[in-house]
Structure 1
Amino acid sequence: MNAPSQPKSLVLASSSPRRAELLREAGYRFRIVHPPFAEPEVPPPHVDPTAYCESLAYYKARSIEDSNPEDTILAADTITVIDGEIFGKPVDRNDARRILRRLAGTCHRVITGVAVLHPETDLRLMGHSVSVIHMRPLSDEMLESYLDTGQWEDKAGAYGIQDHGDAFVESYDGSFSNIVGLPMELVRDLFCRWS
């Protein structure tokens, strides 16, 4: 299957196997380069969540542009937001527990910022996608059992809807691929705008 608006030479600036899988499933051909950009563990105070995740995606892409000057670079960053509080990836099990307790039984947003750069032509496109998650309340037993799986590691909000975390989700509104970590509708739109 050919992906719509396939860039000639596409590089995914990501260490996420989920993002690579989504791109592959959509029919895109690409290389993976792990960006050296280190995300801050704590977002700056009073930052706009959508601008924040777009800027993280942009700086991930920028961190590999010198070594990939002729390629189209795609990068993304996903955060979870409730009442203005931003949650990225948990730093450890205790942090994952804290995040999941905060999110349990609530309605919260998952926002993914996406950046597409082409250094040779100075192309810079960015956007974001927002999905809303309605999460079930979690018992202590359910929470600890989930934490024991290690599935919380490397996931914004400490859960993945595509893994065991789907048992936590009562319903969602918006893009499923956004919740997984790469909103394919937005990616297609950005590639179409570029071509």
Structure 2
Amino acid sequence: MDKIILASSSPRRRELLNRYKLNPVIVESNIEEKIISGEEPEQIAMSLAFEKAYEVSTRFNESEIVIGADTIVAFQKNILGKPKDEKEAYEIIKLLSGREHYVITGISIIKVNTNIKLVDYERTKVKFRNLSEDKIKKYISTKEYLDKAGAYGIQGYGEILVERIEGCYSNVVGLPLGKLDHLLNKFFNINIL
């Protein structure tokens, strides 16, 4: 099997792939994540995923398979990025309280030294419970919001914030495994499981 490179520093993505014994080589991309206003969230996620995969792929030359991903949280056409501090994290969670939002992960797979470059995305609808101010503050105090789009992690304490999801759970964690398995199988004859 070709060596798999994960163009991400996300511990959650690494954990998801390691669970399936893919044991990717982790190589962080050096792109500057720019969001162009007016673009649809899906376009932004796919573009960033491709940029990450492409930048990392230029460092290899032996048919490695490079996987790039970017997860964004969209609420009413607004993109909710990673909060810069506790205050912003509080505001994001309060905004999402009792409401639905979308978690969109762009995914890109590039096979080095070939013309194979794939880009796709997965979208999952998430509905938060109605959260009291105290509940939000307790969640923020866990510091789990750090480095997370939308200021929460569904795989951790953030699970308690969620009333329901429609779609792929692993997408909300940061990597849509069903979509990834489908793409790897269809284009590279690789099965995750």
For Structure 1 versus Structure 2, the TM-score category normalised by the shorter chain is over 0.9
Instruction: State how far apart, in whole Å, the 1-side matches of 2:61 and 2:87 are.
Output: 41
Normalization by structure 1: what TM-score? Answer: 0.91
Residue 105 of structure 1 corresponds to 98
Instruction: Indicate the SS of the match to 1:191.
Output: helix
1:174 is matched with 167
Name 1:4's counterpart in structure 2.
Answer: none
Q: What's the counterpart of residue 156 of structure 2?
A: 163
Cα deviation 1:24-60 (Å, max 9, x = unaligned): 11231311111112323xx322211101100010111
Identity among equivalent positions (%) equals 35
Match for residue 48 of structure 1 among 40, 50, 59:
40
Matched letter for residue 8 of structure 1 = D
Could you say which residue in structure 1 is the equivalent of 2:191?
A: none
Amino acid at match of 2:54: R
Give, as a single letter, the amino acid of the residue that structure 2 aligns with 1:49. P
Q: Which runs of 5+ in 2 are unaligned?
A: 189-193
- Residue of structure 2 in register with 1:151 after alignment: 144
Distance between the aligned counterparts of 1:94 and 1:26, measured in 2? 37
Deviation, 1:92, is: 2.0
Using the alignment, how far apart are the partners of 1:95 and 1:61 within structure 2? 30
Q: List structure 1 runs of 4+ shifted beyond 3 angstroms.
A: none
Question: Match of 1:166, as an amino acid?
Answer: E
**Deviation at residue 116 of structure 1 after TM alignment:** 0.3
Structure 1 contact 78–88 (Cα < 8 Å) conserved: no
Q: How does 1:51-62 map to 2 (within 5 A)?
A: 51-62=43-54
Is 1:68 the counterpart of 2:64? The answer is: no
Which residue of structure 2 aligns with residue 135 of structure 1?
128
1:21 aligns with 2:10: no
- The reply to whether residue 9 of structure 1 matches residue 23 of structure 2 is no
1:124-157 CA-to-partner distances (Å, cap 9, x unmatched) read 1011111111101221111111111110011111
Counterpart amino acid of residue 167 in structure 2:
G
More deviation, 124-133/139-148: 139-148
Gaps of 5+ in 1: 1-6
Structure 2 length-normalised TM:
0.92
Question: How far apart in 2 are the matches of 1:60 and 1:93?
Answer: 28
Name the Cα RMSD after superposition.
Answer: 1.2
